[in-house]
């Protein structure tokens, strides 16, 4: 029905998702915002690639600008026949992070986009200074946007480099304080009495009090819808005053999702004390470490995430010290959700891990492998490189969930590693340049790098029964 006003050039396919509404399907390329990275071409799963490069003026003349404008008018979040815990289902959710100023082919931004689709407007972001703060908040623009249906979106803030974890913890404490105050008002209102419709809506929200789910969000909407009528029908000044206080805090019926986001330079190094403090607090926050294994924004300096043999600024002859095992350090607390993901290697694993982290009632930290121009690779293949990192035994996939029973809390999620570790690292300039900067010790450092990675992988695989 909505397609009757579509431009003639607006082509669609019949949806293959189970539905009874004759739904159509389309992927719309935004010609004016395309960075030309080519990642979409390489990531397309069809045997015959559905996408190809084309001169921008050719696409303008073909009507793609008008197509994009019409596409913007179509509704999001139609997921008939798909589940939100599937890759397909999640992609029908409106991204609330779009058109960032990151480098073409950036390995970090797809994770942030995915988180925005999982959390929606419930997300409050504390962003460490670095690449992710620059492409997320270069004044006067931001890639964080609002939901098409109601104009609601995530809240985002950037403090300093070294105190971002504490900054995010403060957000959590503020949300908790507001929710505790809201509960006090609710108890007083119930003791006094109010409309049956509002009471029923509030009781449903209280059942979902600890959740930050779509269901909790829907329950909050029901409370918001019932409040004006209850205020108008208030039988006393006291009831009207309490309803007014509840109205002020109505956005806190559904819990907020606090995401503390930053790179490895922040998490492993400069902000490590804060990250440790926040994990130890036991508070319900989510930490996403966009791990490029180097200080990306400042030009490629070595961090404690940089592995042995990698060449970086301040490690020009190849890093001699191994990568900090920060994931295991976080696991030793025993109460924090800890995971390691790589989007290009296993998209469903990355998505469900992030969904588990959000659902976990307590602190979580997820280490997300991200390709970077500082690695000296063709960023068109960034997702394929993420896959190779896992297949070669370079990057681990695992989850540690303290809410599960003992012996089942740690899950090793790498099926096999058929690739060559040496082929993987030698294909990246950050490693191969070692033959120029330190040719005498290059082979020895490469051997140490593989030995260290193998030791780590074997260590992780033995954790299952112990955790």
Q: Are residues 141 and 268 in the same domain?
A: yes
317-324 average pLDDT score: 96
Nearest to 287 by CA among 62, 115, 34: 115
**Phi, psi for residue 25 in degrees, rounded to 5:** -130, 140
pTM of the predicted model as reported, rounded to 2 decimal places? 0.95
Cis, peptide link before residue 131, omega less than 30° from 0:
no
201 and 100 in a single domain? The answer is no
CATH code where residue 35 lies: 3.30.70.20
Rounded Cα–Cα distance for residues 41 and 46 (Å): 10
| Helix residue ranges per DSSP H, 259-346 | 264, 272-281, 326-331
Distance CA 388, CA 392 (A): 6
The domain tally of the chain equals: 3
Task: State the Cα–Cα distance between residues 209 and 202, nearest whole angstrom.
Answer: 10
Same domain, 378 and 455: yes
Range of the domain at 466: 80-171+255-467
Rounded alpha-carbon distances, angstroms, from residue 48 to 42, 383, 395:
11, 18, 30
Query: 144 with 57, same domain?
Result: no
Residue with tokens 């992070």: 97
- Looking at the fold, whether 269 and 369 belong to one and the same domain comes out as yes
Residues in Cβ contact with 191 at an 8 Å cutoff, skipping those fewer than 6 apart? none
296 and 391 fall within a common domain = yes
| Residue-by-residue DSSP string for 70-118 | HHTTS-----TT--TTSHHHHTTSPPSB-S--PPTT-SSHHHHHHHHHH
Is pLDDT above 90 for 48?
no
Indicate whether 51 and 133 sit together in one domain: no
pLDDT digit string (tens) for 229-273?
Answer: 999 999 999 999 999 999 999 999 999 999 999 999 999 999 999
- Give one DSSP letter per residue of 420-467, joined into a string: -HHHHHHTSHHHHTHHHH-TTTHHHHHHHHHHHHHHHHHHHHT-GGG-
Query: Roughly how many angstroms between the first and final C-alpha of the chain, as a whole number?
Result: 55
Claim to verify: residue 8 and residue 64 sit in the same structural domain: yes
Q: Taking 90 as the threshold, does the pLDDT of residue 105 lie above it?
A: yes
Q: Which helix (H) or strand (E) holds 369?
A: strand 364-369
Number of C-beta neighbours around residue 417 at 10 A: 16
Average per-residue pLDDT for the chain: 95
261 and 246 share one domain? no
105 and 178 inside one domain: no
Question: For residue 1, is pLDDT > 80?
Answer: no
> Residue 90: is its pLDDT beyond 80?
yes
Is residue 17 within a helix (H) or strand (E), and if so which, with residue range? none
Crossing angle of helices 237-248 and 164-192, in 10° steps, is: 160
Q: Are residues 304 and 314 in the same domain?
A: yes
CATH number at residue 368: 3.40.50.970
- pLDDT tens for each residue of 134-153: 999 888 889 999 998 889 99
Using DSSP bridges, classify how beta strands 398-400 and 337-341 pair: parallel, antiparallel or unpaired: antiparallel
Q: Report residue 20's pLDDT band, with 50, 70 and 90 as the boundaries.
A: confident
| Mean predicted confidence (pLDDT) in 424-442 | 97
| Lowest mean per-residue pLDDT among 42-51, 103-112, 272-281, 344-353 | 42-51
CA dihedral 169, 211, 154, 244 (to 10 degrees): -90
Query: Which of 196, 226, 252 finishes a domain?
Result: 252
- CA dihedral of 370, 376, 378, 384, whole degrees rounded to 10: -40
How confident is the model at residue 114, as a pLDDT?
A: 98
Domain boundary among 233, 252, 271: 252
Domain boundary among 45, 74, 103: 74
The C-alpha angle 73, 78, 80, rounded to 5 degrees, equals 150
User: What single-letter DSSP state applies at residue 315?
Assistant: B
Q: Is 262 in the same domain as 304?
A: yes
Reported as a pLDDT band with limits 50, 70 and 90, residue 50 is confident
């Amino acid at each position: 029905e909505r397609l009757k006003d579509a431009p003639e050039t607006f082509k669609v396919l019949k949806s293959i998702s189970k539905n009874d509404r004759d739904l159509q399907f389309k992927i719309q390329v935004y010609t004016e915002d395309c960075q030309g990275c080519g990642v979409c071409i390489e990531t397309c799963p069809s045997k015959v690639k559905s996408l190809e490069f084309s001169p921008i003026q050719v696409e303008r003349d073909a009507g793609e600008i008008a197509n994009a404008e019409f596409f913007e008018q179509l509704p999001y979040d139609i997921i008939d026949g798909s589940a939100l815990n599937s890759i397909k289902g999640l992609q029908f959710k409106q991204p609330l992070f779009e058109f960032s100023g990151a480098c073409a082919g950036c390995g970090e931004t797809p994770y942030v986009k995915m988180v925005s689709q999982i959390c929606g407007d419930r997300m409050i972001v504390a962003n460490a200074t670095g690449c992710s703060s620059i492409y997320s908040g270069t004044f006067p623009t931001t890639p964080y946007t609002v939901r098409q249906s109601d104009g609601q979106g995530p809240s985002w803030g950037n403090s300093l480099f070294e105190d971002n974890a504490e900054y995010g913890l403060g957000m959590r404490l503020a949300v908790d304080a507001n929710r505790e105050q809201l509960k006090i008002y609710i108890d007083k209102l119930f003791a006094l009495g109010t409309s049956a419709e509002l009471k029923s809506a509030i009781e449903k929200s209280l059942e979902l009090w600890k959740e930050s789910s779509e269901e909790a969000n829907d329950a909050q909407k029901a409370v918001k819808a019932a409040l004006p009528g209850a205020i108008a029908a208030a039988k006393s000044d006291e009831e009207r005053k309490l309803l007014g206080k509840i109205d002020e805090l109505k956005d806190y019926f559904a819990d907020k999702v606090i995401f503390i986001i930053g790179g490895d330079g922040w998490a492993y190094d400069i902000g490590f004390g804060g990250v440790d403090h926040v994990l130890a607090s036991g508070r319900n926050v989510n930490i996403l470490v966009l791990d490029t294994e180097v200080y990306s924004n400042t030009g490629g300096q070595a961090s404690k995430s940089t592995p042995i043999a990698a060449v970086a600024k301040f490690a020009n002859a190849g890093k001699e010290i191994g990568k900090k095992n920060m994931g295991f350090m976080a696991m030793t607390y025993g109460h924090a959700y800890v995971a390691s993901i790589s989007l290009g290697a296993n998209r469903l694993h990355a998505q469900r891990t992030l969904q588990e982290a959000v659902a976990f009632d307590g602190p979580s930290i997820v280490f997300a492998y991200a390709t970077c121009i500082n690695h000296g690779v063709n960023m068109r293949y960034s997702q394929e490189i993420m896959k190779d990192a896992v297949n070669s035994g370079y990057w681990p996939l695992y989850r540690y969930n303290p809410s599960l029973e003992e012996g089942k809390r740690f899950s090793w999620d790498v099926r096999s590693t058929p690739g060559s570790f040496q082929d993987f690292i030698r294909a990246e300039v950050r490693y191969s340049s070692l033959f120029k900067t330190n040719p005498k010790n290059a082979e020895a450092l490469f051997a140490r790098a593989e030995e260290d990675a193998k030791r780590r992988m074997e260590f992780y695989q033995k954790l299952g029964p112990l955790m």
